Amino acid sequence: MGPALPRTVRAVDTSQLLDLAQDAAMHGFSQRLPVDWLQAHLAAEATHYLFPTLVQRLTHRPEMPLQWRCQQLLTVYTGEQTWGLLDVLPDTFDKIPQTLDTASKKDIVNRIARAVTVRNWMERIAADAGS
């Protein structure tokens, strides 16, 4: 049995999020956005949030380590917040400092629930560029 899924939210800056995405790409995790997409679309000075929601075990691929599938609240260059997913190693998540109080965590989880998906945001940006 692996580590228990934490019911918490962690804050990361853009540089940390890019490192997490690079780590996910290196491991071949299925839920991640490409690092180059993140570099092009994230607000450089923003804070982003990770909320673990699922223990991911790939029983059909035993060489893959256990992962925590996190909902992520990303701030993009337009200042909007978008919703996506990122698979993270439990030890990696545990090393992210706990900096948020309970009220902030609840607020972030509520914002995640209301945020537009990255895909929908991209479709809207493309449509706006075409008009």
One pLDDT digit (tens) per residue for the chain, 131 residues: 567 889 999 999 999 999 999 999 998 888 889 999 999 999 999 999 999 999 987 667 677 788 999 999 999 999 999 999 999 999 999 999 999 999 999 999 999 999 999 999 999 988 888 76
Q: How many residues make up the chain in this entry?
A: 131
- Which has the closest alpha carbon to 24: 97, 86, 94, 104? 86
Contact 43, 77 (CB under 8 A): yes
The tokens for 75 are 């701030």
Question: What are the domain boundaries of the chain?
Answer: 10-130
Whole-structure pTM value: 0.91
d(CA 112, CA 50): 10
Residues sharing a CB contact under 8 Å with residue 60, sequence separation 6 or more, in sequence order:
none
> What backbone phi and psi angles, to 5 degrees, belong to 91?
-65, -35
